[in-house]
Amino acid sequence: MSHLGIPVEKWVGKVQEVKLGGNGRKSVVVGGESTLPFLHFEGSIPNRPAIAVEVQDKEPTDWPLQLLSAWGDVVKEPVSWARKAVEYGADIIVLRLRSAHPEQGNSGAKEAEQVVAEILSAIDIPLIILGTDVVEKDNEVLLAASEIARGQRVALGNCIDKNYRAIAASCLANGHVAVAKTPNDVNLAKQLNILLHEVGLPLNSVLHDPTTGSLGYGLEYTYSVIERLKLACLTGDEMTVTPIICTIGEESWRQKESRATEGIPPSWGAHEERAITWESLTAITLITAGSNVVVLRHPRTVELIKHVLEEGKRH
Amino acid sequence: MTGIEIYKYLPKTNCKKCGFPTCLAFAMKVAQKQVDISLCPELSEESRRIIEAASRPPIKLISIGKHRKIEIGNETVLFRHEKTFYHQPGLVVRIRDTQQLDDVISLVKGISDYSIERVGLKLSLNGFALENESRNADDFTKLAEMVSSNTDLPLVLMSSEPTVMKSALGKIAQDRPLIYAADKDNWREMTQLALNYQCPLTVFEPQGLSQLAELVELVSQRGVEDIILDPGIPCSSNSVDTLTQLRRMAIKSSYKSLGYPIITFPGSAASLKEEAMLAALHITKYAGIIVLDHFSPGTIYPLLTLRLNIYTDPQKPIQVTAGVYPINDPQETSPLAVTTDFSLTYFSIAGELQSSAFPCWLLVCDTGGLSVLTAWAAGKFTAARIAKTIKQFDIANNINHRSIIIPGYVAVIKGELEEELPGWKIMVGPREAMDIGNYLKWKWQAEVSH
Ligand code: B12
Ligand code: SF4
């Protein structure tokens, strides 16, 4: 084939490897690739995209019944839920501190510490802890979670332009990774990474969430932002090297196609099949764009995405 | 090609039949793409092909079928953000000539009629791939005839046996089906069929891209111009490798023999769900025709949506015009809701209002085509802007109440809007459009009964 001269890009950049866990706990390394997704002929892809499964610290009130029942009773109790997610094949658990949200329980530092400690001792895979996205509250619960998880190299988010100093300092002090989040914009993503870098958090301790739009609801914007971030990284921009994390489940299970069971045309098909495909297609498409961690909700999606990724590796 | 280069191939007789005084003048116009080379009747077939090949786009535009055609190719970039992707891949469903004919008819009708309304567009599947599994010419021809008479969608005829192909083409060539496929053994006969019946031809060669290119050259030297490539890619995520190489060969290296659309078969070795995953990969990464082995609306709908998303022009969001839209024959007592002019946003809420069966007014603000929260964050869906829009469209004189429902995601503007619209009641609607029906039923009813 060589005489055809297939164009092989000589990329100069490489995605930063970020390690989660370790120190007695299983570790997961994400990133590290020196080419675009799936292009094994051109560079090395040492780590396949990681599959993270979302668990909430209280029973979700806004999840469709079908999604809840796929998990069963464990959704009432985060520790059993996390254990179950490990059984279903999660590489990483994402714990969402929903109950700390001022309008959804307003629990505080103590509760956050407790649930984080319990989950860390119940599972041996890495943990990502996401707060409420209310800045003051996150400063309270995320920092408490950070302390209690000291040395376990968890990831803490969301770390945004308004709270990055506090989160970065806490990650540095306790050996954690920050989940930086910016709204859908290559330059904003880059800027926040620069800020984190300037306050001394090395980029091997940052995952970046450039905001996810679900299939049918902004996916194409997210897709191109991620693809552009990856291209920037590979062409040598050192402030776009952070691995990318996407909150796939949260976005896709919010949409009508994943929720509606009645009053819809037959061409929409069976609800479960449609909803799971909605989540899986959002995931596989953003993986194709360059996502390194996909946060999923449905057990079948986890199984399917894992299968597709591992199948590709074997060939 | 420059004018001078084109000139070299012309007869240089200055006979003027093309309408230009000299061959050189004509060549210059062709080079500027102002006239077509076919205007010169004296040109040899060979020269015409060379000039056309040199001036055609990096990936040739191919059309298949006659009525609801599949048009693919003519892509110019590797990444959609560089410009846009133009021609959506055709999604076709495979049928085998060993299947029960009765089942086939209803499947064909079902698929031909299948459509989804989304963002004001009608999304549908694009055709059928008929496979000669029986190895029998009569069965295959019968299937082709029957499918052809039950659909206006394009067909792909799949048989490696030239006699079988000929038999089917004899009956349905006027539909301009895609012939699948010329391979290293049968290419001479298949090429002849493509020429005789004027149908596009697939070239199948799984040994490697240079072997594929060689076979394409042989076929095109004999005069076939409309070609589809089948590199025989594996049924796994690794297929992205080959698809990317082909796209780069066509676009970055301007390698003409591989500058054609590609056909893929994500269903051949996979379950329904895996098929959908691979089809998704092929939609984002460069397939021209995707042959599915399943027709299941629950996966087809997401795939059609993905195709629409990926092929949306990234430079310009699809918009609707600002204004007040009546839904379900509203009266002056009917509720008023406000949204933005991003097409997706508008159709989400308008669709739900419509199916709620409540007569109502939907006020659409000019935000330059942004979603609710994006517009709000960009300062284009503010209390002031909404108040201005209400005045602009003279809402107050067309309704007899003073209540307006705002999207739940912008609940924060309630206070400001109350200031901007003294005497109005600002009602915070649900966040997701699908909950508006219930909201109207409970909250609006309670509101009016006061
Ligand atoms: C795609 C996207 C973009 C695209 C724009 C797409 C577009 N044409 O609007 C781009 C990349 C350009 C973009 C840019 C920005 N974005 Co943006 N974007 C998104 C994203 C991913 C999806 C938006 C979308 O398309 N939703 C789908 C549509 C259909 O949703 P919707 O309009 O809200 O409609 C739903 C409901 O509101 C409801 N509804 C609609 N109308 C009505 C009416 C009534 C009465 C009711 C009851 C309900 C209702 O129905 C719909 C379905 O349920 C979201 C995050 C997310 N995952 O949602 C961020 C998001 C909206 N963006 C955000 C921001 C900050 C920005 C920027 C300001 C960033 C920046 N500084 O550059 C810019 C601003 C743009 C500009 N200056 O021009 C933030 C807003 C944060 C906030 N809470 O204020 C978000 C939420 C991301 C985040 N989490 O930070 N963005
Ligand atoms: S018709 Fe052909 S040969 Fe005659 S002048 Fe024009 S280009 Fe020359």
| Partner B contacted by A187 (CB < 8 A) | no
Under 8 Å between Cβ of A141 and A168? no
B256: CA distance to ligand 2 center in Å?
Answer: 27
Partners of residue B208 in chain A, C-beta under 8 Å:
1
Ligand 2 atom with least separation from CA of B13: 3
Ligand in closest contact with the CA of B16: 2
| Token reading at B3 | 């004018």
User: What is the pTM assigned to this prediction?
Assistant: 0.93
Residue ranges lining ligand 1, Cβ < 6 Å:
A 183-185, 188, 211-213, 217-218, 221-222, 251; B 317, 337-339, 342, 344-345, 348-349, 369-374, 376-378, 405-409, 429-430, 432-433, 436
Which residue has a Cα nearest atom 33 of ligand 1? B372
Burial of B379 (0-12, 13-18, 19+ CB in 10 A): exposed
The nearest CA of chain A is from the CA of B167 a distance in Å of 36
Tell me: pLDDT of A180 over 60.
yes
Mean pLDDT of A176-193: 97
Q: Is B241 on the interface with A (CB under 8 A)?
A: yes
Q: B302 and A215 in contact by Cβ < 8 A?
A: yes
- Please spell the DSSP secondary structure of A150-212, one letter per residue: TTS--EEEEE-TTTHHHHHHHHHHHT-EEEEE-SS-HHHHHHHHHHHHHTT--GGGEEEE---
B344 touches chain A (CB under 8 A): yes
- In ligand 1, the atom with minimum distance to the C-alpha of B434 is 53
Q: Give per-residue burial for B153-186: e unless 16+ CB within 10 Å, then b.
A: bbbbbbbbbbebbbbbbeebbebbbbbbbbbeeb
Tell me the DSSP string of A74-119. GGG-HHHHHHHHHHTT-SEEEEE-GGGSTTTT---HHHHHHHHHHH
Q: Which are the contacts of B331, defined by CB distance < 8 A and separation ≥ 6?
A: B359
Tell whether A276 lies on the interface with B, counting CB pairs under 8 A. Answer: yes
Q: Residue A308 and residue A304: Cα distance in Å, rounded?
A: 6
CB contact set of B12 (below 8 Å; sequence gap of 6+): B23
Distance CA B77, CA A191 (A): 28
Which H, E and C letters describe B256-271, residue by residue? HHHCCCEEECCCCCCC
Task: Determine which residue's CA is closest to atom 26 belonging to ligand 1.
Answer: A217
The beta-carbon neighbor of A216 closest among B210, B299, B309 is B309
Interchain contact, A4 vs B301, CB within 8 Å: no
Candidates B210, B278, B314; nearest CB to A3: B210
ipTM of the complex as predicted: 0.96
Q: For strand B178-182 and strand B155-158, is the pairing parallel, antiparallel, or unpaired?
A: parallel
Distance CA A301, CA B302 (A): 14
- What's the mean per-residue pLDDT of chain A? 95
Nearest to B359 by CA among B387, B331, B379, B395: B331
Nearest by CB to B277, which of A6, A255, A308? Answer: A308
- Whether A128 and A52 have beta carbons less than 8 Å apart is answered as yes
User: What's the gap in Å between B370 CA and the centre of ligand 1?
Assistant: 7
Q: Which of A2, A4, A36, A182 to mutate to test the interface with B (most CBs of B within 10 A)?
A: A4
Residue B52 pLDDT: 80
In sequence order, what DSSP letters do the residues of A122-146 get, joined into one string?
H--S-EEEE--S-HHHHHHHHHHHH
Confidence of residue A29 (pLDDT cuts 50, 70, 90): very high
Q: Are A126 and A26 in contact (CB under 8 A)?
A: yes
Interface membership of A68 toward B (CB under 8 Å): no
> In one letter, which amino acid is A70?
A
pLDDT at A315 over 70: no
pLDDT at A9 over 80: yes
Residues of chain A with Cβ-Cβ distance to B298 below 8 Å are 268-274, 277
Read off the tokens for A238: 């050192």
Query: Residue B81: which of A232, A15, A7 has the closest Cα?
Result: A232
Q: Which two tokens stand for residue A142?
A: 């995320």
A164–chain B Cβ distance below 8 A for any pair: no
Task: Find, in chain B, the residue whose alpha carbon is nearest to that of A315.
Answer: B238
Residue B16: CB within 6 Å of ligand 2?
Answer: yes
Instruction: Name the residue at shortest CA distance from atom 74 of ligand 1.
Output: B378
Residues of chain B with pLDDT under 50: none
CA of residue B247 to ligand 1 center, whole Å: 33
The predicted model gives A127-134 an average pLDDT of 96
Confidence of residue A1 (pLDDT cuts 50, 70, 90): very low
How close B115 gets to chain A, by Cα (Å)?
Answer: 7
**3-class DSSP assignment, residue B281:** helix
Structure tokens at A81: 């839920």
Using the mean position of ligand 1's atoms as its centre, give its distance from the Cα of residue B205 in Å: 46
Distance A40 CA to ligand 2 centre (A): 51
Report DSSP state, residue A4: G
Tokens standing for residue B55? 């001036």
Pair B178, B154: CB distance under 8 Å: yes
- Cα(B95)–Cα(B105) distance, integer angstroms: 10
The b/e string for A176-214 (b: 16+ C-beta within 10 A; e otherwise) is bbbbbbbebebebbbebbebbbeeebebebbbbbbbbbb
Q: For a substitution probing ligand 1, which of B324, B334, B365, B374 has the most ligand atoms within 8 Å of its CB?
A: B374
Chain A contact present for B298, CB below 8 A: yes
Residue to probe by mutation, ligand 1, list B373, B380, B417, B447, most atoms within 8 Å of CB: B373
CB atoms under 10 Å from CB of B13, counted, come to: 10
Nearest CB partner across the interface for B301, out of A254, A274, A276: A274
Q: Which structure tokens are listed for B420? A: 């901007």
Strand partners, B396: none
Ligand 1 atom at minimal distance to the Cα of residue A187: 72
DSSP for B48-105?
HHHHHHHHS-SS--EEE-SSS-EEE-----SSGGGS---SPPEEEEEEETTS-HHHHH
Does B353 lie at the interface with A, CB-CB under 8 angstroms? Answer: no
Using the beta-carbon criterion (under 8 Å), do A304 and B434 form an inter-chain contact? no
Measured on CA atoms in the order B229, B232, B234, B236, is the torsion positive or negative?
Answer: positive
Identify the three-state secondary structure at position B188.
Answer: helix
Chain B CB contacts of A271 under 8 Å are: 298
Q: Whose CA is nearest to atom 2 of ligand 2?
A: B40
Query: Any idea which ligand is nearest the CA of B22?
Result: 2
Alpha helices in B395-448 (DSSP H): 414-420, 436-439, 445-448
The number of the ligand nearest the C-alpha atom of B27 reads 2
Mean pLDDT computed over A275-291: 98
Using the predicted structure, report yes or no on whether residue A314 has a pLDDT greater than 70: no
CB pairs under 8 A between A and B: 164
Any B CB within 8 A of A266 CB:
yes
Per mean pLDDT, which range of A91-95, A135-139, B44-48, B335-339 is the poorest? B44-48
